[in-house]
A and B are shown apart, each in its own frame.
Chain A
Amino acid sequence: GAGVSQSPSNKVTEKGKDVELRCDPISGHTALYWYRQSLGQGLEFLIYFQGNSAPDKSGLPSDRFSAERTGGSVSTLTIQRTQQEDSAVYLCASSPVVTDEQYFGPGTRLTVT
């Protein structure tokens, strides 16, 4: 079956613009995670969804970052008034509620100029 998909694969935006990143998890996976990976760095946890609710938003770097999930499926990560330090690869992962391994998408490479 299909894996986790993310769109767009690449996004170049000007500083100050808003961007939306999309994640389509594996069908039936109730847990969904967003991470950020900067060059040469480990993955940084941003937010977690269980169904449509986000019990943990502690990783969001600032109030410019927000995320939502609808229908227990697709999730959107929105970054408002983008800054150059937001440039990174944004990765989405999903997992079935009862298992521990996470399935990652290919990521969205965001470049803020």
Chain B
Amino acid sequence: SQKIEQNSEALNIQEGKTATLTCNYTNYSPAYLQWYRQDPGRGPVFLLLIRENEKEKRKERLKVTFDTTLKQSLFHITASQPADSATYLCALDRGGYNKLIFGAGTRLAVHP
């Protein structure tokens, strides 16, 4: 079955630096991959979607890459701010009706 691996250790970076989070999957390549942000006590919030035929997608300070050969997606936040501190979840589709498999998430802490 499909497994998603995200770094379980928190990522601590200095304000202004670029944060890079990794999402690896083990089995079939999904048709698309999504990234969500989750703050404590809240539901996830959609950030970006990248399809299997796209190498890179950008939105403001966010950039996502998708490498189907490496079975990996990288999520970058440039010029990071303390307000970017949250848990970031990677999710893959299982085909068809947008049934998503979520990773456990990586907690990002941006320090002033």
Contacts and interface: CB of A to CB of B under 8 A. Distances in A.
Contact of A100 (B4, B34, B36, B42): B34
Interface of A: 4, 31, 33, 35, 40-45, 48, 50, 55-56, 91, 93, 95, 100-107
- Measured as residues with beta carbon below 8 angstroms from the partner, the interface class of chain B is 20 to 34
Interface of B: 4, 32, 34, 36, 41-46, 49, 89, 91, 93, 97-105
B44 A43 contact: yes
Nearest to A55: B97
A19 B42 CA distance: 21
A35 B34 CA distance: 16
A101 B46 contact: yes
B96 to A, nearest CB: 9
B35 to A, nearest CB: 10
Contacts of A105: 43
A78 to B, nearest CB: 20
A4 B100 CA distance: 18
